[in-house]
Amino acid sequence: MAGKVEESERFVFNGKIDIPNKYSAGTVGSQFLIELRDNKKIIGIKCPICSQVYVPPRSTCKYCFGKLSDLVKVSNKGTLLTYAVAYQPSPIQPVEPPIAYGIVQLDGANTGFVHMLGEVDPAKLKVGMRVKAVFKVKKERVASVKDIKYFKPLR
Amino acid sequence: MAEQPSQEYINVSYTMGRPYRWAAGKYLSKLYKEMRDHKKLVANRCPKCREFLWPPEMVCGRCKVRAGDKWVELSDKGTVVQYTYMVFPLWDPHKGERVAEEHPYATILLDDGMYVVSRLEERDKGKLKVGMRVQAVWKEEGRGHGLDEDILYFRTIEQ
């Protein structure tokens, strides 16, 4: 039974832990996702006191803490506030790299909306450029924020 | 009549993968390899205090000396010291699957003085006893994946 352990005999195991998660999008969050799925429309919510328009909608104003219920339609077009490009592949990323993530302020909204940018060379991205939402086809839309494929530059 | 929900509510489901790699190291790998290839349990022992190191280790925890490569084959018979009956399907982190079937799970004191945790073949709860004698039943084709992989279960034996 004596004998040395060779280098090649060492075991390395691959762990395969997957953590399944589920959360409720809530009242206004659900309406936002349903609107994406059914009508290809992006909706926000307006605070009647301070006139902030939140996209995606939330049920409480973060400035005046008022309860929000005034859903408003915002444009599918917007302005790129900032962006980042990810080159490292990772199982938590929604698509294959390189992925350009952008924060887009849609016309009619006061807040930035985080999504991916597509149909664009990452080197040509510019803060302040005009972008437009590209939706998936009807049968692929499942009331997820990924029903928007990405935002592409307006030419 | 039940109240109709005022609107459709969306549940967002997603799965978070947590990939990792785990190196068994030189000494634990030796045990796993012996289990996979020769269906044997092995341990090394401290050259100073002569204690078995289980699971095999590089350094003796008491004497702080290198244990070396003197391997000893162990008996695969033992005694059940405690057991439980698993009903809830736990996740297996190596396979990413749940262990769906109910099974008894026991700590077994091997005849050479080491503890192993493994399944038992005996599924009749009335026949499970602390102190029962068991022997390892090996899988035909081991995968070199630790006790759960190469030992199918422990079977009740007459002494």
Domain borders along chain B are 22-74, 75-159
**Token duo for residue A153:** 């530059």
- Name A85's Cβ contacts closer than 8 Å, sequence gap at least 6: A98, A99, A100, A101, A122, A125
Q: To the nearest 10°, report the CA torsion of B145, B147, B153, B156.
A: 160
Question: Does any domain span residue A80?
Answer: yes
pLDDT, residue B135, reads 94
**Token duo for residue A102:** 């952008």
CB contact under 8 A, B11 and A33: no
Report chain A residues touching chain B, CB-CB < 8 A: 1-5, 9-27, 29-31, 33-34, 91-92, 143-144
- Which chain A positions have a beta carbon within 8 Å of B10's beta carbon? 24-25, 29-30, 33-34, 143
For the cut 80, the answer to whether the pLDDT of residue A16 exceeds it is no
- Which chain B positions have a beta carbon within 8 Å of A13's beta carbon? 21-24, 94, 145
Q: For residue range A54-106, what is the model confidence (pLDDT) as tens digits? A: 999 999 999 999 899 999 999 999 999 999 999 988 777 888 888 999 999 99
On the CB side of A72, CA atoms within 13 Å amount to 18
pLDDT, residue B106, reads 94
Q: Which residue is it, tokens 């391997």?
A: B71
The one-letter code for the residue type at A17 is: I
For the cut 60, the answer to whether the pLDDT of residue B147 exceeds it is no
pLDDT, residue A110, reads 94
Mean pLDDT for chain B?
86
CB contact under 8 A, B26 and A5: yes
Q: For residue range A28-60, what is the model confidence (pLDDT) as tens digits? A: 999 999 999 999 999 999 999 999 999 999 999
Question: Does any domain span residue A91?
Answer: yes
**Token duo for residue A95:** 């698509």
Q: Which domain holds residue A51?
A: 25-153
Nearest residue of A to residue B94, measured between CA atoms: A15
How far is it, in rounded angstroms, from Cα B93 to Cα B155? 25
Question: Does any domain span residue A4?
Answer: no
Question: Does any domain span residue A34?
Answer: yes
pLDDT, residue A3, reads 41
Residue B149, φ and ψ in degrees, nearest 5: -90, -40
Question: Does any domain span residue A95?
Answer: yes
Closest CA to B60 of B70, B71, B49: B49
Q: Total domain count for chain A?
A: 1
B13, B19, B24: residue with CB nearest A21: B13
Question: Does any domain span residue A8?
Answer: no
Question: Does any domain span residue A57?
Answer: yes
DSSP, collapsed to helix, strand or coil, labels residue B35 as: helix
- Which chain B positions have a beta carbon within 8 Å of A20's beta carbon? 13-16
What is the assigned CATH class of domain B75-159?
mainly beta
pLDDT, residue A23, reads 94
A3, A17, A91: residue with CB nearest B96: A17
Site from A4, A6, A8, A10 to mutate, B interface, most B CB atoms within 10 angstroms = A10
The CA distance from A29 to the nearest CA of chain B, in Å, is 8
Cα of A46 vs its chain's centroid, Å: 20
A14, A25, A29: residue with CB nearest B21: A14
User: Do the beta carbons of residue A151 and residue A102 sit within 8 Å?
Assistant: yes
